[in-house]
Amino acid sequence: MSSTSPSPLPATERWRSLVVYLSMAATVVAAIAAGLQADAGIRSQVANRESQVYALLASGEIFRQGIRSDYDLGTLADLTQEMQDGLSLEITGLEQEAEGNLEAAQLARQRAAILRARVERARGLSFFYTDPAHAPSEPDALPNLEGYVEDSAAEANRLVMLQNEQADEYQRWSRKGDAYVAVLALLAVALFLFGLAQAANVRTRRTFTIFGSVVLAISIARAISILVS
Amino acid sequence: MTEQPGTERQGRGEIVIAVAMALVLVMTAVAAWRSSDLGSRAGDAERLGMIQSIQQQDFLNIDWQKAYQDAGNAQRYLLAEAEVAAMEASDDPGLQAQAGNQRRYVLANLALLGEPLSTDPTYAGLDGSLDIAQRFADLQASNPDLAALDPEGAFTRAEYYQSQQRGYFVGVVLLALSLFWLGLAEITRGSARITGLVMGMLIFLFGLAWIAGLEILWALARWADA
């Protein structure tokens, strides 16, 4: 009889062994989760750094483009004004000539010729007249200012887009890292329950072991869902 | 009396397992310290890289500003020169005299102000434009403080450390697995205990080899870079 009936001692030992197995499994899962959490932390750190570098580059590009636009548009404005002044002097010369005031007409023409020379030289210096993509298609037409504004913002926009992508990436990995911390907290609860199970009597041990196992299973499922998300 | 040799073997086995577990725990602590050290080094390298990036951008901004300032000055000179040339070409003796004085007293000063773009032919484009990008490149090349900055190098170093840190995480997981098997050996008897001990030691040795391999690999990589 004594050989067939289960003795209370082996049953206690079986539960105790199960608790030890589960505790060790929880430890291994915690080590893996800690590794994944640290990896997510590194990835979020790298993305955060990249985001900051792109923000810096974008601000530098906006600064550069501001200086450049100031130069290009300033050159164009001066050129246009001198072109208008020259035209006005030509008209004045013709009017003075018609009125018989030849000396004033000649003076106006001389000043117009000087302005024409300045305008011709300024065209060679202006991006709007030397760059084929923006230069006027006809002599009296205006340069492609709309295209210039679009092109000048393109690089800064590209950098801002990259910055946003990296910022999103940072958020994504940061959220994953936080989620792994929650998993680690659950694993700590599981380990706590297994610790209580070790110290408790047989009936309470079973209860704590079952609760601990449930928490461990939830932790593993959550860790897997974070990993594949 | 008949059970005494078995009990002694069991006692010896438990001592071996305890020593092995202690070894694994010490190695885990060392690996955790090294991993933390690598994380700290990566953080330092990243911080240095960010500081250098900001300094680099500061220099770039200053150089662009200087390049366009120089271009503005050179433009003033070139336009004045065109104006003087037109006055010289006129048939009015008064304008010609004025042009002579302007060339002598005004243009010389404007040329000085617009240097080097106004005088150096390397900055003159074929279409008469000014090569501002070349001026910017020359300003950058002549700045030793800028040349000393290497943010990309610092970021690359940070990534090296982070990669090594990831390798250490794998090592720590291997050590945890080893601990798992040694724990099993501790609570079992007979062949299960031997299996647990062997598995635990094999995984521990693999973990050690992994960590040693990492250190050797990264030492070689640093040596090759140097």
Residue of B nearest to A69 (CA): B68
- Tell me how far apart the alpha carbons of residues B50 and A43 are, in angstroms, rounded to a whole number: 17
- Give yes or no for A120 touching B (CB within 8 A): yes
Q: B166 to chain A: which residues are within 8 Å by CB?
A: 38-39, 42
Count of Cβ atoms closer than 10 Å to residue A222 Cβ: 17
- Give yes or no for A152 touching B (CB within 8 A): no
Q: How close, in Å, is residue B94 to chain A by CA atoms?
A: 11
CB atoms B166 and A42 under 8 Å? yes
The pLDDT value given to residue A179: 96
CB atoms B92 and A110 under 8 Å? yes
Half-sphere CA count of B167, side-chain side, radius 13 A: 19
Q: What are phi and psi of B148, to 5 degrees?
A: -75, -15
Which pair of tokens denotes residue B219? Answer: 């030492």
Output the DSSP codes for A20-50. Answer: HHHHHHHHHHHHHHHHHHHHHHHHHHHHHHH
Q: What are phi and psi of B124, to 5 degrees?
A: -95, 125
The pLDDT value given to residue A9: 52
Query: How many pairs of residues across A and B have Cβ atoms under 8 Å apart?
Result: 121
Q: Each residue of A86-138: pLDDT tens digit?
A: 999 999 999 999 999 998 999 999 999 999 999 999 988 888 888 888 888 88
- Tell me how far apart the alpha carbons of residues A204 and A56 are, in angstroms, rounded to a whole number: 60
Q: Global pTM?
A: 0.79
The pLDDT value given to residue A5: 46
CATH of domain A8-228: 1.10.287.2610
* Non-local CB neighbours of A71 within 8 Å, separated by 6+ positions: B68, B71, B72, B132
User: Domain-by-domain residue ranges, chain A?
Assistant: 8-228
pLDDT digit string (tens) for chain B, length 226 residues:
444 566 776 778 889 999 999 999 999 999 999 999 999 999 999 999 999 999 999 999 999 999 999 999 999 999 999 999 999 998 888 889 999 999 999 999 999 999 999 888 889 887 778 999 999 999 999 988 998 999 999 999 999 899 899 899 889 889 988 988 898 888 878 888 888 899 899 999 999 999 999 999 988 987 887 7
- Which residues span the domain enclosing B155? 4-225
Give me the residue from A24, A25, A42 closest to B165, CB to CB: A42
Integer CA distances (angstroms), A182 to A175, A176, A191, A226, B169, in order: 11, 10, 14, 11, 19
CB atoms B165 and A67 under 8 Å? no
Give me the residue from B57, B130, B159 closest to A125, CB to CB: B130
Give me the residue from B53, B65, B79 closest to A67, CB to CB: B65
Half-sphere CA count of B194, side-chain side, radius 13 A: 3
Percent of chain A with pLDDT over 70: 95
pLDDT digit string (tens) for chain A, length 229 residues:
344 444 445 667 788 888 888 988 898 899 889 889 988 998 999 999 999 999 999 999 999 999 999 999 999 999 999 999 999 999 999 999 999 999 899 999 999 999 999 999 998 888 888 888 888 888 778 888 888 888 888 999 999 999 999 999 999 999 999 999 999 999 999 999 998 988 888 888 999 999 999 999 999 999 999 999 8
Considering its fold, how many domains does chain B have in total?
1
- Give yes or no for B133 touching A (CB within 8 A): no
Which pair of tokens denotes residue B179? Answer: 């601990």
